[in-house]
Structure 1
Amino acid sequence: MFWMVRVAVLSAGSWGTTMAKVFADAGSDVMIHARRPEVADAINQRHENPAYLPDVTLPGGLRATTSAAEALKGAAQVVLSIPSQTLRTNLTAWAPHIGADAVVVSLMKGIETHSGQRMTQVIHEVTGIPAERIAILSGPNLAREVAAQQPAAAVIACPDESTAAALQQACHTHYFRPYTGTDVAGCELGGAVKNVIALAVGLATGLGLGDNARALLITRGLAETARLGAAMGADPLTFSGLAGAGDLIATCASPLSRNRTFGEHLGRGLTVEDATVTTKQTAEGVKSCGAVLDLAGAHGVEMPITEVVSAVIAGTVSVPDAAEALMSRAPKPERYGV
């Protein structure tokens, strides 16, 4: 027997609004938190979010508010979709309003810079919610395509399989197919590192390099991700699935990807500051690349693509020198470090 689930989605960016639409289309009672009154008004009055999803009609039952407390009131499921580096500060303010038995779902794909923590670890530390009620949703999910109801799938990972199954039911529609799993660390690492690799693919594209170079970066980027995942206890099979190879391919191949687009801007000569302004929305790999590299160092894992991208972002390696830095590395067996 189906019952309507009360869902709070924080916040109203492109991916948060898209997943709010998915939950609403699946039959959930959804309230979305928007920082700006004009965004909330557009959702409530015109059923659209032109600032982030122009030309997309939102479900009539989807409601918005500028009050996080109002959005969280009575919510059984809390969906977080904000820039990774702002999670701790925002969640500290929101935590008192999260229900005692609520399940929290992270849509975020980043690593906290000063702590090296994954997003579910930050959620647990700030709120005290047990890991069994904290989940990650990850996969090849470009917001614009999902909002347009083009077929897509994702993985909902949680240590508790029944929690993952409940979330799966709450967001399963004819166009969005969620799978379940328990490898939270693997899904989060796949989502965080693929943004860094997408920056590298964007750099290559901006430099005018071809499909061979892009395939090289995607394939070796997946190897880097798997090496780090293995060192951190993730299931190796995760990286051949939706939250690994699937997410990596979509993010690296699509011009809709913020991280690939950011990398293209750099490859064409823009500075990091100018690329940030031009890209407009947050490219998580820019902030997370250093934290990912720190994790690799702490676990003794070699990640040459991540290292070069981090150096480009930090300004210690020029864009033209980035490709040479990778291609001049000593030859190795393809599966070294596995």
Structure 2
Amino acid sequence: MSTTQNPASWPDRRALDLLGIERPIIQAPMAGSGTPELAIAVCEAGGLGSLACAQYSVDQAREAVQTIRAATSKPFNLNFFCHRTPQFDAQQHAAWVAQLEPYYRELGLEASTIKPAAGRAPFDAVYCELVESLRPAVVSFHFGLPEPTLLARVKASGARVLSSATTVAEARWLAARGCDAIIAMGSEAGGHRGSFLSQDMSTQVGTFALVPQIVDAVDVPVIAAGGIADGRGVAAALLLGASAAQIGTAYLFCPEVKLSPLYRAALENVNDDGTALTNLFTGRPARGAMNRLMRERGPLSNYVPRFPLAGAALAPLRAEAERKGHDDFTNLWSGQAAPIARQYARPAAALTRCLAEEALKLLCQGMRVGAESGG
């Protein structure tokens, strides 16, 4: 039996026991990039595979779950967004289009034909019925929680409920409303911030300052997320009181993900200071690799329509630029630890095992040193 399968190996088993997994590794959902194949590989390796449903229709989500269940009997996580789709604001839309007009002219496109579209659906009664019929072991939310009646139905289905917190106040809010575990999402994390009580990006907290403060503030297990891409990061998170680590960017280098060649090339070249928080692509702050649009119109802008209405105006620009081989208008979500993640590029199952085994080795070495020194 390997050390990671020994029930006594991990210092804090709360997340493992809660989620029914062998290794304290959770694959971040990553809407648009994650696939059923990625979730399957992580589950089979003893971690928690996740499937992002925000860009799936109900039928697509059901089909993806069928694919997962045909390949693994292990627990997996279905992830949903909890935003409220805003009313269309014609004045704001016009202001945003005006910002993009020079790019439309440059690419020979017509800006006047842009139609507003949401692109990402929030968790609602229809998705709730899907959860009730599929009964996944874990359901996670981003941007808070659904309204209480829907949340009660999710919990009644038997699912463990997770959600992301970017501050201690958000963690307390989630715990008070029945979250079974809280994902402490540091500012280093790639993709959309999970923030919901405040959108002030100037006060976002780093992972290794946030984790111990949330651990001290709530009684439920805490899952560290953001800037963790190797066993050292996992071990550090566990030493700070987390029960598990959620990994995103490191999994983007796995062959099971769905990435365009331009996105892959960006990840291969991004450095530690090559990402920024931006709202330009969707209307909510998210961390991604810097590109032309972020440099010239942001990375944060007051002209951008509220999430998720911003993307419609960018879609024609993105399509035409990508056709010409440029990522000028493409969201290239990435965390700050991408350079570390590149060194660990391998299939998802092997990565999951590697992260856990490296972390456990470091933890065991630390315990031996402590014992030898009389600590």
TM-score, structure 2 length as denominator?
A: 0.30
Larger RCO: 1 or 2 (CA < 8 Å, sep 6+): 2
From the CA coordinates, give the structure whose radius of gyration is larger.
Answer: 2
TM-score, structure 1 length as denominator?
A: 0.32
The structure that is helix-richer by fraction is: 1
